[in-house]
Amino acid sequence: MTVSIVEMSPRDGLQNEEKVLSTEAKVELVSRAVRAGVRRVEVTSFVNPRRVPQMADADELMTALPRFDGVRYAGLVMNERGLDRALAAGVDEIDVVVVATDTFCTRNQGMTTAQACETAASLVAAARAAGVFTTVTIGASFGCPFEGEVPLGRLREVLRRVTDTGPDELALADTIGVAVPSGITERLALAREVAGPDLPLRLHLHDTRHTGVANAVAAVEAGVSTLDASIGGAGGCPFAPAATGNVATEDLVYLFGRMGVGTDLDLDETIAAAGWLEEQLETRLPSALLRAGGFPTA
Amino acid sequence: MTVSIVEMSPRDGLQNEEKVLSTEAKVELVSRAVRAGVRRVEVTSFVNPRRVPQMADADELMTALPRFDGVRYAGLVMNERGLDRALAAGVDEIDVVVVATDTFCTRNQGMTTAQACETAASLVAAARAAGVFTTVTIGASFGCPFEGEVPLGRLREVLRRVTDTGPDELALADTIGVAVPSGITERLALAREVAGPDLPLRLHLHDTRHTGVANAVAAVEAGVSTLDASIGGAGGCPFAPAATGNVATEDLVYLFGRMGVGTDLDLDETIAAAGWLEEQLETRLPSALLRAGGFPTA
């Protein structure tokens, strides 16, 4: 078995960093990720640039990005206008977000969870008609910064609605980094039950409370081997208090490499990309491997 | 089941921090750990103060420490002189270290692994005669900064020698933070096989490569529920390059609390202790919970 990493740094990583990278720097980041072995990259989000100024160059970025064999570029979209832009820009995948709680969903995208599911259904249908791969991500699946615990019954209902939108892939997101391995096991089992045996599942982890790596292990043990991660552990969520970055890509590459599972990524190249990104962002990224280096070294 | 945490911050935490805390501050640290719920504390090491100046006040510290019902104080010892000091100071436990590789063992304590096992045997016998609880910790059980991988056959041999010293408890240490969950499972099973079914096992983790929390989960799944941790994630090892602190106590308290396993520690008190320690050390500690706080908050 191999873990498949979806690289989040250009989107989830950069959208919450203070420094806004140039389009040219984003192209370099994506190219470095691809050189490290990444095959799916969420490169940007097609959202209101006044709300997320870090992503204002979404259209130009897609134009500027070189294409590599077998590499797919995804864009996050939240509404019809975003979808139109994403399709015009030539994305290979769209990632549509539905937040599991009404309070957070309203703050994040100005609609209730039920409304977001309806929107997701039309976005998925339109993207599919255009031949574009579709993922629906359920944000705050493991806890909400405003409502606290997300009851299993609530998640089941959202899972049912999201499954009904007919995506090619369904992702659960621990947006604020509160999940623990037992919760990962429980909620991925629930997702599998509701979504049925054939829909590919994916997990989006943040390492806010240092459980990200343990949660990744639990996911793989539960049979979910498509994991979101961000080079350097960059990022967070501008609409979630105290959120920090995704679990660092290089931390997962080390972990799964040493466990004999593998990720098809090169650890040294990934660490080098994290070091480069840290220089660009002029901040200290939370990556462990960037500080410690791999093992054994010889 | 409950996880039992052995608090390492006064010894493993402080010995590698640049700032040397006063005896009075160490008393406050231990008292705060106890207030949070800790029942075993490794308070100091009785080693050469020229090599580890942070521990030069070992004897005075033991005199100054208040006693709390049910709380045991341990001292790390490496030789007969250290044991004499520890016994005179009135420790409840000694922790004797044997490093699994000759290169690291020689750098750490000036003798080969085999010699360290002989020393451990005499220290354990003398401590037991004095009615003091004995732990032998095998350092670098999961990897060595100088020799690289530690073969299973080598660890088996060291485990056999250490078991023969007759300790009350045997600890495996991931001194440089290179272990991953599959290795934890494998090496704890080996330790159980060699040590037999009755010898209590304990695990000493560092979070150098962000695998500490995942490794703690693997340990508990393997039936080893006595875990070393350090408030704030302070520390490292002065003789191991690029080593960082133990897994943070509060990170484990959050993890196991939310998993329904429990630690008998109060999360808020533990986080408060980490915040206090960070101020004392005038550095940024790697704790996640100190930054993010617990969840849910209400």
- Contact of A34 with A68, CB cutoff 8 Å: yes
Question: Bridge partners of B1?
Answer: none
**Closest CA–CA distance from residue B42 to any residue of chain A (Å):** 24
**Burial of A260 by CB count in 10 Å (0-12 exposed, 13-18 middle, 19+ buried)?**
exposed
Paired sense of beta strands A201-204 and A40-46, if any: unpaired
Question: Bridge partners of A173?
Answer: A204
Say which DSSP state B90 is in.
Answer: T
- Contact of A275 with A291, CB cutoff 8 Å: no
SS3 A13: helix
Mind listing the pLDDT tens digit of every residue in chain A (298 residues)?
A: 899 999 999 999 999 888 999 999 999 999 999 999 999 999 999 999 999 999 999 999 999 999 999 999 999 999 999 999 999 999 999 999 999 999 999 999 999 999 999 999 999 999 999 999 999 999 999 999 999 999 999 999 999 999 999 999 999 999 999 999 999 999 999 999 999 999 999 999 999 999 999 999 999 999 999 999 999 999 865 565 566 899 999 999 999 999 999 999 999 999 999 999 999 999 889 999 999 999 987 5
pLDDT band at B243 (very low <50, low <70, confident <90, very high): low
Type of residue at B81: R
Which pLDDT value is given to residue B74?
A: 98
Residue B231, pLDDT > 60, answer yes
Q: Which residue has the higher pLDDT, A238 or B167?
A: B167
* Minimal-distance CA residue of chain B relative to A147: B296
Residues B258, A183: C-beta atoms closer than 8 Å: yes
Which pLDDT value is given to residue B18?
A: 84
ipTM: 0.96
Instruction: Assess whether B237 carries a catalytic annotation.
Output: yes
Give the CB-side neighbour count of residue B167, counting CA atoms within 13 A: 29
Tokens of A121: 């259904």
Residue B234, pLDDT > 60, answer yes
Say which DSSP state B242 is in.
Answer: T
Dihedral Cα A202, A208, A211, A215, nearest 10 deg: 0
Question: Bridge partners of B94?
Answer: B75, B134
Residues A292, B244: C-beta atoms closer than 8 Å: yes
CATH number of B4-292: 3.20.20.70
Spatial neighbors of A96 by CB under 8 A, at least 6 apart, are A76, A77, A78, A119, A120, A123, A124, A134, A135, A136, A137, A165, A167
Instruction: Please tell me which of the candidates A143, A214, A296 has its beta carbon nearest to residue B213.
Output: A214
Residues A149, B259: C-beta atoms closer than 8 Å: no
CB atoms within 10 A of CB B248: 30
- Contact of A132 with A92, CB cutoff 8 Å: yes
Phi, psi of A286 (to 5 degrees): -80, 0
* Minimal-distance CA residue of chain A relative to B259: A182
Residues of chain B found within 8 Å of residue A222, distances taken between Cβ atoms = none
* Minimal-distance CA residue of chain A relative to B219: A214
Question: Bridge partners of B172?
Answer: B138, B203
Residues B251, A209: C-beta atoms closer than 8 Å: yes
The CA distances from residue A152 to A100, A183, B225, in Å, are: 11, 10, 29
Tokens of B227: 């875990």
* pLDDT (average), residues B168-191: 97
Residue whose C-alpha is closest to residue A166's, from A136, A129, A188: A136
Residue whose C-alpha is closest to residue A14's, from A58, A50, A57, A44: A44
* Minimal-distance CA residue of chain B relative to A148: B296
* Minimal-distance CA residue of chain A relative to B257: A180
Residue whose C-alpha is closest to residue A158's, from A214, A212, A115, A126: A115
Question: Bridge partners of A139?
Answer: A99
pLDDT band at B229 (very low <50, low <70, confident <90, very high): very high
The Cα A249–Cα A6 span in angstroms is: 9
The distance in angstroms from the start CA to the end CA of chain A is 25
- Contact of A123 with A190, CB cutoff 8 Å: no
Phi, psi of B273 (to 5 degrees): -65, -40
The Cα A263–Cα A167 span in angstroms is: 25
CB atoms within 10 A of CB B56: 16
Which pLDDT value is given to residue B240?
A: 57
Residues A210, B209: C-beta atoms closer than 8 Å: no
Residue whose C-alpha is closest to residue A124's, from A86, A174, A181: A86
Residues of chain A found within 8 Å of residue B297, distances taken between Cβ atoms = 148
Phi, psi of B28 (to 5 degrees): -65, -40
Residue B224, pLDDT > 60, answer yes
* pLDDT tens digits, B146-166: 999 999 999 999 999 999 999
Task: List residues of B whose CB lies inside 8 A of any A CB.
Answer: 143, 148-149, 176-178, 180-183, 207-214, 216-218, 242, 244, 248, 251, 254-255, 258-260, 288-289, 291-293, 295-298
Which pLDDT value is given to residue A243?
A: 67
For chain B, how long is the longest CA-to-CA vector?
54
Instruction: Please tell me which of the candidates A212, A214, A292 has its beta carbon nearest to residue B217.
Output: A214
Tokens of B86: 């520890």
Which pLDDT value is given to residue A174?
A: 97
**Closest CA–CA distance from residue A51 to any residue of chain B (Å):** 24
Angle at B206 between CA B274 and CA A275, to 5 degrees: 90
Residues B212, A209: C-beta atoms closer than 8 Å: no
Which pLDDT value is given to residue B242?
A: 63
Tokens of A289: 């491997």
Residue B241, pLDDT > 70, answer no
Instruction: Please tell me which of the candidates B210, B288, B292 has its beta carbon nearest to residue A251.
Output: B210
Which pLDDT value is given to residue A239?
A: 60
Say which DSSP state A233 is in.
Answer: G
Residues A213, B208: C-beta atoms closer than 8 Å: no
Say which DSSP state A130 is in.
Answer: T
Residue whose C-alpha is closest to residue A185's, from A141, A155, A157, A215: A215
Say which DSSP state B246 is in.
Answer: B
Residue-range domain boundaries for chain B: 4-292
Residue B270, pLDDT > 70, answer yes
- Contact of A22 with A255, CB cutoff 8 Å: no
The Cα B207–Cα A287 span in angstroms is: 12
* pLDDT tens digits, B96-113: 999 999 999 999 999 999
Spatial neighbors of A69 by CB under 8 A, at least 6 apart, are none
Task: List residues of A whose CB lies inside 8 A of any B CB.
Answer: 143, 148-149, 176-178, 180-183, 207-214, 216-218, 242, 244, 248, 251, 254-255, 258-260, 288-289, 291-293, 295-298
Residues A292, B181: C-beta atoms closer than 8 Å: no
